[in-house]
A = this chain, B = another copy of it.
Amino acid sequence: MNLKELSTLLGLSQTTVSRALNGYPEVSEVTRDKVMKAAKLHNYSPNTRARGLATGRNHAVGHVIPLSTEHEVVNPVFTDFIAGASEIYSRENYDMILSIVPDSTEADAYRKIAAKGSVDGVIVHGPKANDPRIALLREIGMPFVVHGRSGIAEESEYSWVDMNNTRAFERATEFLIDLGHRRIGLLNGLETMDFALKRREGYRAALASAALKEHKDLCYSSEMTEEYGFTATMEMLALNQPPTAILASSIIVGFGVRRALDTSGLKIGKDVSLIVHDDDLSYLRNGSNEPIYTATRSSVRMAGRICAEILMEQISDPNRPLRHVLLDAELIIGHTTGPAPKD
């Protein structure tokens, strides 16, 4: 069923039917009603391509996922993020187009997306420490929102939604220091990524203000897998002076830490304390009533919602001022932290 068919069926012109459906005032309520009913009855939805072609609007946004050899953004965090974003999209009747592109061809991919004109805006995932995509998108002139930030310099020049990574990890480290811990391991994410750098800074700041020095052999940086948590922890435990506390960059890494401690016969929260960062993932809840892990928590799903909302805003009116949202993580106390053991 297309417009033409529907309109001949109704004995009206295409114009009138189109206007009726799109809420233009030039059509009487009676007619509009008739049209609406007929549309529903015959299951008519305007063809998106044609509509897009005519209006220049796609009702679609793009999520470009760099597929790199070193870092996979298609991860559980990403999943929850898009779950959040799509809540907004479905409300606004927008489609979400996912392109997973090898990061070698990423710049091209963005240009191509712009040229193909199939989306009205994009969301940038997993910004690196100094990410060329931002300049690129500004140059192209397509509305975009970054999940995270990239470098400090021009962060006022694009819209972003970020968690306060620095503060979160600073706070977590302070908490451990207050508990008497002096040797604190950091299982960070890949430090090519902006968020990981910021977390590192926070960790460092807390140590510094307690006049503690950072030990190189207690600081790890890698893709955030369970295996990583396990291996790194085992390595640290084998040191002459193993850490009494560990800060893990995700709950999955935390699982690995737990396994390593179990394997080594150490009691979590007693022999070794653990704080994880908890993205509040729907499938990896940190306890339902009561938290299991002591954690810095910030819902990535929420971040997805906010990003999407800002992008919608930006699309509907490109002249809106840029938006910057900094979400604070809360420190929640679970069963994996305790006072530093005396030796």
Q: Which residues of A contact B (CB under 8 A)?
A: 1, 43-50, 52-53, 58, 60, 67, 72, 74-76, 78-80, 82-83, 86-87, 89-90, 95-102, 111-112, 115-118, 224-227, 252, 255, 258-259, 262, 282-285, 287-288, 292
Contact = CB atoms under 8 A, between A and B. Distances in A.
A284 B97 contact: no
Given A49-B49, A86-B98, A86-B100, 19 more contacts: A1-B115, A43-B111, A44-B115, A45-B112, A48-B116, A49-B118, A50-B53, A67-B83, A74-B79, A74-B83, A83-B100, A95-B98, A96-B98, A97-B98, A98-B98, A226-B285, A252-B283, A258-B259, A258-B262
**Chain A contact residues: helix, strand, loop or mixed:** mixed
Nearest to A281: B76
Contacts of A252: 283-284
A86 to B, nearest CB: 4
A227 to B, nearest CB: 5
Report, nearest first, the 8 A-B pairs whose CB atoms are least far apart. A45-B115, A86-B100, A49-B52, A74-B83, A48-B118, A79-B79, A49-B49, A49-B53
A92 to B, nearest CB: 13
Contacts of A118: 48-49, 95
B97 A97 contact: yes
B99 A45 contact: no
A82 B67 CA distance: 12
A259 B116 contact: no
Contact of A82 (B74, B83, B89, B102): B74
B76 A283 contact: yes
A259 B292 contact: yes
A317 B112 CA distance: 27
A286 B292 CA distance: 22
Contacts of A97: 60, 95-98
A47 B80 contact: no
Nearest to A301: B74
25 contacts: A45-B116, A47-B115, A48-B118, A49-B52, A49-B118, A72-B282, A72-B283, A74-B80, A74-B83, A75-B282, A76-B76, A78-B79, A83-B100, A86-B100, A89-B100, A95-B99, A96-B98, A96-B100, A97-B98, A225-B285, A226-B284, A226-B285, A227-B287, A252-B283, A258-B262
